Structure 1
Amino acid sequence: MSRLSIRGVCATAGVATLLVSGAGAAGAGGNGATTFTDNQHSVIDVFHDMNPCTGDPGTVSAVENQIFHGTINKTGSWFTGTVEGKFTFTPDDPSKVTYTGHFATWFGDENNLRNGVEHSTFNVNATGTDGSHLQFHDNAQATLNANGTVTVSFDHMSCA
């Protein structure tokens, strides 16, 4: 499962939840804040992707637990999402290794009047049909100042 696929799923689900849920007013302090939290359990997700360590294309079948939270007020917006679950990666080429295991990913997005920050982590721990072990970790961040200039940007990935 690639970090980009999970990030896309999280972002889409988070925004869709905000739009569909009708977001309840927090009202604390009279700042007009709107907030939502959405929990989903045993979500089935099947999609085509690449093994992040080998580049082999294949199909990911996952059963996920998801939680998304968002707050919007007059000073900005804050969104977070966590998705974790079990998965199987079946390569398109049947001679390649199939992996089964656990994944967890988290993202955070903050935008206020002075800056914007995006954070994400993604971890995979799986066992192959050949007995091999696959571990993948990704940690990324991007920060923009009020002028839209990127002041921090990194994406650290590792496979073992």
Structure 2
Amino acid sequence: MRRLLTVAATVSMLAMLGLSSITASAASSCAPNPSGTTTCTMNMHGATFPVGPPNPPCIPPDATGVVSNLNAVFHFTINGAGDAWFTGTIEGAVTLTVPSTGITYTGHFSQWFGSEFNNKNSVNNSTFNAHLTAPNGSTIDSHVSFGFGVSASGQPIMHMNMVC
């Protein structure tokens, strides 16, 4: 299970690298080190990509738009034992149009995630925040945080919080 989660986290991070119009750079070597620890930090700047259904909680389900001027930093470390640590922060500007109301919102979003795995336990946490405003003064606010982990005894640990 730990290996599956490590692969899933790596695939998710690599999918982010596939976004269009991105300038990415690695601050450290990302070359694997089979007999030791591998650490890599990647920075991305200037991404623009479409967003839309399905949307995060608190965002109108039919809203579509664009995220622009995205900035992100991802860091991961994997040691020789296969223990892994992944973290990332993403932020950018958002423009959303809600077809059912015809209202366009603009604002900012940020997201952070972190995952850690070893042979005894694992933990995954994430937060998402967005604040958008329309010309008529209406707003969309979203705060979502969640976490899932497994203790060394195999006990699942979970939390989720949403505020709109």
* Normalised-by-shorter TM-score class: 0.7 to 0.9
Q: Give TM-score scaled by structure 2 length.
A: 0.74
CA distance in 1, matches of 2:130, 2:147: 19
The alignment yields a C-alpha RMSD, in angstroms, of 2.6
Residue of 102, 111, 122 corresponding to 2:108? 102
CA distance in 2, matches of 1:13, 1:129: 35
CA distance in 1, matches of 2:152, 2:102: 48
Change in Cα spacing, 1:121 to 1:54, as seen in structure 2 (3 Å) is closer
Contact in 2 for aligned 1:51/1:57 (Cα 8 Å) = no
CA distance in 2, matches of 1:68, 1:80: 6
Which residue is 1:41 aligned to? 45
CA distance in 2, matches of 1:122, 1:54: 12
SS at match of 1:24: coil
User: How far off is 1:148 after superposition?
Assistant: 4.8
Residue of 72, 85, 88 corresponding to 2:92? 85
Residue of 117, 122, 138 corresponding to 2:123? 117
Contact in 1 for aligned 2:122/2:150 (Cα 8 Å) = yes
Which residue is 1:14 aligned to? 13
Paired letter, 2:38? T
Which residue is 2:30 aligned to? 23
Identity, % of aligned positions: 35
Contact in 2 for aligned 1:26/1:35 (Cα 8 Å) = no
SS at match of 2:13: helix
Residue of 139, 157, 162 corresponding to 1:157? 162
Change in Cα spacing, 1:23 to 1:74, as seen in structure 2 (3 Å) is same
Q: Does 1:57 align with 2:67?
A: no
Q: Give TM-score scaled by structure 1 length.
A: 0.76
Give the stretch that moved more between structures: 82-91 or 52-61. 52-61
- Gaps spanning 5+ residues in structure 1: where? 1-9
Measured against aligned partners, the alpha-carbon deviations of 1:70-121 in whole angstroms (never above 9, x if no partner) come to: 100134000001100100111233x343211001100000001210000111
User: How far off is 1:35 after superposition?
Assistant: 1.4
Q: Does 1:74 align with 2:98?
A: no
CA distance in 1, matches of 2:12, 2:148: 21
Contact in 2 for aligned 1:14/1:69 (Cα 8 Å) = no
